[in-house]
Structure 1
Amino acid sequence: MGEALMEDAVRIVLDVAAEEDGERLDRLIAARVAEISRSYAQSLVKAGDVYVNGEPARPARRIHEGDTIEILLPPVPEPDDLTPEYIPVPVIYEDDDVIIFDKPAGLVTHPAPGHEHGTLVNVVKALRPDVPLLMGGKRPGIVHRLDKDTSGLIVVAKNEEARRYLVQQWQQRDVVKRYIALVHGVIRENEGTIDAPISRDPRNRKRMAVVPNGRPAVTHFRVLERFRDATLLNVQIETGRTHQIRVHMLFIGHPIVGDQMYGKRPFRIPIARQFLHASYLKFSLPESGRPIEVETALPADLREVLERLRAEG
């Protein structure tokens, strides 16, 4: 980063926890900072904009407990190729600091190679063109992520101060996040907890898996309804690891119905995507600090699956 940009740079400081000891630097940055992808983290390291314990970081560096990571992000002008796109996405709540969307399945959260258009970010630029590009990338206000084929609640910050306030809540696990999931098989327990670390699958780097040296991940579930070959769950996650619910459900032998990456089991009722819906959020609003609870019902495609299950017995 040039000297002319240093004064205006966005500075992020991360302290490495014990459970992150030995993690690759680029992976840790991407996991801890929602707006930075792994490839962008790598480019920042190569550009000399990432420091570990005050020294410029090396590519592929492993970090250790107690290390301090400093990231410098340059202010980036709004690119001409970020096209505003009007796609129907319901707004559940909005004030001067945040927008809460009810994201439909099939909508990618932010632009990426192969998905430059038709994303939630394009929708934000169309609906609220005054929301600035934050954190030096094409992700205006994105606080957290939902998989493409997971529907439900997602929060967008409308300014940098609000984004920092919200991201801190997500990082400190102060947010209550609940999902509705339909899984293969009948779960006999009425409720349970899965406490199993998650990291990249050593046999397939495109997937995540439960691995002994992974990052801590905790998922709680409660049975809502049982069918002869499936179980409907209310799922609450303490942590927010990539694909956490999908990985944990596979780990206990009950993968998500319709999940084409984890499980791939056939199901008697056709479903075009994984039966996973982010149904509930509770967090504190940036300006007032007051708690807000938002909830959204299952979308039509998932309701239809349940109706058929109930009708067929």
Structure 2
Amino acid sequence: MELRGVSIIFENEDFIAVNKSAGMLTIPDRHDETQLSLYKILSQQYGKIFIVHRLDRDTSGLVLFAKNEVTHKYLSQLFEKRNIEKIYLGIVKGSLPDKTGTINEPIAEHPVHKGVMAIHKKGKPSLTEYKVLEDYGIYSAVQFNIQSGRTHQIRVHMKYAGHPIACDAVYGDGKPILLSSFKKKYKLSKGEEEERPILNRLALHSYRLNFKDANNNLHTLEAPVPKDIKALLQQLKKNRSPAVLK
């Protein structure tokens, strides 16, 4: 179901699962409440709606909203007690030496830069499990399972690991990905004066949520991989260096 450009993945009488596009706010910005957000769109359609969790503006994928206070409390507790599995798909820079692993480093707000997070010994405990799905040499497709829900957690942990999320302007170099950067003998299409990026936004997607509702029904919700990330993965696979072919 499409609702003013917002894709509804699942809906029942208690909650709504939405596939958020990259660049859209989950909730209004405190400094500019006129900006369009998922919360505003859903509130106009459903009336009172409750925020369960949120995604970074530049991250795409699954977001849950509750339709009533009882469900809001229940789902919020699932997140707080880590009784909900949160799977993300990301594209990171480089080739990770360990194809599976865990990053267990505390995260706190940066002491100088407001809104930026950092690894800090006095921060909150933060645990990210990762699994390399495909190694393309210049980039890797990685699945993340976050056992805590800190702000920018995956992005901070991957910066710490030395393999930031592609196109991350805060924790990486922020550079868009050009096909010419890894495709040999690349040529501009006829009529093009300059190359358009194949990806020009944070390469991170909230892919799957697994949890049981208050009636003990299991929900496995998935948001399809966005077209831009899918296109990049296809090109990386097609142009993978022989050195990293399995």
Give the TM-score of the pair, scaled to structure 2: 0.85
Pick the aligned partner of 2:159 from 250, 254, 260. 250
**Cα deviation 1:159-196 (Å, max 9, x = unaligned):** 00110011011100101000000000101212000000
Deviation digits for residues 266-294 of structure 1, max 9, x if unmatched? 464232211000000011223x1322111
Q: Which residue is 1:284 aligned to?
A: 212
1:265, distance to aligned residue in structure 2 (A): 5.2
Cα deviations by residue, 1:77-120 (Å, 9 ceiling, x for unpaired): xxxxxxxxx62111111111000011111110111222523110
CA distance, structure 2, for counterparts of residue 268 and residue 239 of structure 1: 30
Contact 2:176 2:201 in 1 (8 A): no
Cα offset, 1:237, TM superposition: 0.2
Q: Does the 8 A contact of 2:89 with 2:141 survive in 1?
A: yes
Kindly report which structure 2 residues correspond to 1:150-169, keeping only aligned pairs within 5 A, or say none.
150-169=59-78
- Check 1:117–1:87 CA distance in 2 against 1; reply closer, same or farther (3 A cut): farther
| SS of aligned partner of 2:116 | strand
Match 1:128 to one of 39, 46, 68 = 46
Aligned partners of 2:107 and 2:126 also within 8 Å: yes
| Structure 2 unpaired stretches of 5+ | 179-196, 241-246
Superposition RMSD on alpha carbons, in Å? 1.4
Q: 1:268–1:103: structure 2 CA closer, same or farther, 3 Å change rule?
A: closer
Tell me: CA distance 1:266–1:117, structure 2 relative to 1, closer, same or farther (3 Å): closer
- Measured against aligned partners, the alpha-carbon deviations of 1:200-247 in whole angstroms (never above 9, x if no partner) come to 112323200000110000000001001121111010000000000000
Q: Secondary structure at the match of 2:51?
A: coil
Equivalent residue, structure 2, for 1:96: 13
Aligned residues of 1:108 and 1:115 also touching (Cα < 8 A):
no
Q: Write the distance in 2 (CA, Å) between the matches of 1:165 and 1:306.
A: 37
Q: Which residue of 1 aligns with 2:125?
A: 216
Q: Is the 8 A contact 1:108 1:148 kept in 2?
A: yes
Name the structure, 1 or 2, with higher relative contact order (CA <8 Å, separation 6+).
2
What is the rounded CA distance, in whole Å, between the counterparts of 2:102 and 2:15 in structure 1?
Answer: 32
Partner secondary structure for residue 219 of structure 1: strand
Partner of 1:110 in structure 2?
27
Question: Which region of structure 1 is more displaced relative to structure 2, 183-192 or 115-124?
Answer: 115-124
CA contact (8 A) 2:10 2:17 kept: yes
What residue number does 1:296 align with?
Answer: 223
2:194 paired residue number: none
AA paired with 2:202?
Answer: Q
Match of 1:181, SS state, is strand
**What residue is the counterpart of 1:143 in the other structure?**
52
Map 1:169-180 → 2, pairs under 5 A: 169-180=78-89
Aligned residue among 96, 114, 135 for 1:187: 96
Counterpart residue identity of residue 123, structure 1: I
Largest Rg, 1 or 2: 1
For normalisation by structure 1, the TM-score amounts to 0.67
2:185 is aligned to none
Secondary structure of the equivalent of 2:86? strand
Aligned residues: 218
Q: Which runs of 4+ in 1 moved over 4 A?
A: none
State, as a whole percentage, how many aligned pairs show the same letter: 35
